[in-house]
Amino acid sequence: MAKKAVVLVSGGLDSSTVLAIANQQGFECYTLSFDYGQRHRSELVAAQTISDAMRVKQHKVVSLDLATIGGSALTDTNIKVPEHETSGIPITYVPARNTVFLSIALGWAEVLGADDIFVGVNAVDYSGYPDCRPDYIAAFEQMANLATKAGVEGNKLTIHAPLIKMTKGQIIRLGIEYGVDYSATVSCYQAAADGTACGVCDSCRLRKQGFLEAGVKDPTRYQNST
């Protein structure tokens, strides 16, 4: 019987690749997305599309409103998404987002009897977010095993971050090998309702560079044909 895994799926390039990896490793996948007040809500449609294409056991969308605390260009429409490179931690960082998401994934994993959670964080081609670092993942995994009934009873929970040391180009090449349809994914921080990308935000720049590095045609639909 296949082991169960909860896979965090945003609808973007990285998380779709992680789902493909979990499938390839033989896990029975349960995908989890969040309607958290983000401005780029078309990613939720992409998350459902990708989950359906990869025939997951169940796809769940959890609603919570991080816009109520704000502090990020992704949840506060009064803060402009930067369209040029910035130094330091960018304003697109959403305070505590990965901690909140992983905590809910942890709860669902306990309910399902799953010992594995997959997340698409990356510490190479990323935007400087503190909750995308290896030390953070290791610390959360340690906490998870201290804080859960499953962990106390000896069922060790593992947080898998298979992309954490990969470049965007390496991720894309692996995803193509595993059959990921990147044209169905949405990475843009300010994507239109139909999923078309702005082409100028930090996420779009990293995505473009990834396809160039991979030597693969970029299938992204851009709003201004950039």
CATH number at residue 73: 3.40.50.620
More confident call, 13 vs 152:
13
Establish if 226 belongs to a structural domain: no
pTM: 0.93
Establish if 224 belongs to a structural domain: no
pLDDT band at 88; cut points 50, 70, 90: confident
Establish if 178 belongs to a structural domain: yes
Residue 1 scores a pLDDT above 90 = no
CA separation for the pair 12, 41 (Å, rounded): 12
Establish if 222 belongs to a structural domain: no
CA separation for the pair 185, 70 (Å, rounded): 25
pLDDT for position 224: 76
CB burial string 125-161: b at 16+ within 10 A, e below: bbbebebbbeebbeebbebbbeebebbeeeeebebbb
Q: What is the mean pLDDT of residues 91-95?
A: 84
Q: How many domains are there within the chain?
A: 1
Residue 108 scores a pLDDT above 60 = yes
Establish if 223 belongs to a structural domain: no
Establish if 131 belongs to a structural domain: yes
Residue pair 43/193 in contact by the 8 Å Cβ criterion: no
E strand or H helix at 175, and its extent? helix 168-177
Give, in degrees to the nearest 5, the angle at Cα 65 between 61 and 68: 175
The whole domain housing 171 covers 4-214
pLDDT for position 102: 98
pLDDT tens, position by position, 194-212: 999 999 998 999 999 999 9
pLDDT band at 37; cut points 50, 70, 90: confident
pLDDT for position 219: 97
Establish if 197 belongs to a structural domain: yes
Mean pLDDT for the chain overall: 92
